[in-house]
A and B are shown apart, each in its own frame.
Chain A
């Protein structure tokens, strides 16, 4: 559970981990009902409506105003978004 929290970038206290573990375990137990099904020959359903080849033309459309966007940013400098030092992350 701690590993899942790290993957999801959610700081969780040990108490929360315990609580979440119990709750999730309970849910997964409930969800085990699908284990009884024979799903070997079933194709997964990933799309509710069968569309293919949706594309758009390569034409520029005016985007957002930088000032409006940066005004809503937690921290900005020099026309860019500012973040604390990037340590401990994959690039």
Chain B
């Protein structure tokens, strides 16, 4: 499904996303302190975490396992790799260097497929350690600027991160949102991370540049401090427009890092390229190379769960709904696709199951409490005409509220009886006779006249008539009239 290229004025957008993901390990990347969020400050510390003299790093095997899951889920090649030191000074960086991966990362050359089918290249996904957290005291809004002093908590220092570097194949704010949403689902599906942007376990930086069609790449700016998927879209849009305005007025875009401010909806200069540190990368002498055995890589690959894209395809083919349509996307994102298929396996119509789950199960989570058989029974009543779609929704609401229920019993209790076809036809004939004018107009082609007829039928039936069945009857009678 190809869409028209997204443009702002005459400009195309070129966007590359860098996503940092905190891994869901029990301990940190290079030491055995707990990897936990939200505890009292500096309660998960050890000589390695604090960068004490004499401390040495030892790699966490589970972090490697999870990093490989991410790489393989993103179609990367897993390769022998090394660790490097990235040297720079900052108070939350305890050793004044970060152990990361430089020219030989663990995962390379993969891609992520957006729901619509477009592939976004993944250049690499490598392991590195997280920094501590600084809180700025004094000043306004907890910002560094104008603060009196800062306090550092090293609980987060050393937590394992995977940095996923996407190629600049993203062409619109919407594609960026889709990329991050899909990536998040993949990360959760493989058990690598809970990937919550609002909590910081997934962080996204965007590299944005603009150009007119056919021109070489423009100067890019890096946007930081984007804390939600929605902000990501807004920030990219703002930044693109900012750059376009500069270029249109004859100025040049300066290559720099900019800070997204959610409250004023703008990006602001953080630092220019000239201020950037020389990281003096060199191979980490306290660690040895990592070369996962083929058997390990194969085992991780084989154990990968069904990924969101496959789930959507499976659900789409079972229900006939489009794989990138809202119903399929939402239900898979909630993790309720297995449930829908389960309901269908009890004999219910899969397409109706999909619609009902999408609409009624927003609060249910990945393991709905309602037994699949119960929902299946309700749907069967609906499709066999025993319940109108309105009645079906009401019965379902009650089933969901009670975590299950017998659809027949609930329908009876609500007085939803089946209106059989002959009774319905008799009612329709009665109204046709009573409203001869409306019927004549309708037969002459005035579609609006049907409204009055249907209204009357619903009144006589006290709402029990099924709107669709009534319409169908009127149409067929008109045809044969």
Contacts and interface: CB of A to CB of B under 8 A. Distances in A.
Contact of B43 (A51, A55, A66, A82): A66
A46 B32 contact: no
The majority secondary structure among interface residues of chain A is: loop
Contact of B144 (A9, A47, A77, A87): A87
Interface residues of B, number: 55
A58 interface: yes
A90 B91 CA distance: 10
B128 to A, nearest CB: 15
A30 interface: no
A90 B151 contact: no
A7 to B, nearest CB: 6
Interface string A31-44: 00000000000000
A84 B60 CA distance: 34
Nearest to A91: B90
Contacts of A61: 27, 32-33, 46
A63 interface: yes
B159 to A, nearest CB: 13
Given A80-B151, A85-B149, A55 B61 contact: yes
B291 to A, nearest CB: 5
Contacts of B276: 90
B456 to A, nearest CB: 71
Contacts of B287: 54
A81 B280 CA distance: 27
Contact of A56 (B59, B152, B275): B59
B148 interface: yes
Given A54-B58, A70-B42, A82 B150 contact: yes
A80 B42 contact: yes
A27 interface: no
Contact of A52 (B42, B60, B291): B291
Interface in B264-318: 270-271, 275-278, 280, 283, 285, 287-292
Nearest to A50: B288
B275 to A, nearest CB: 7
Contact of B46 (A53, A63, A85, A90): A63
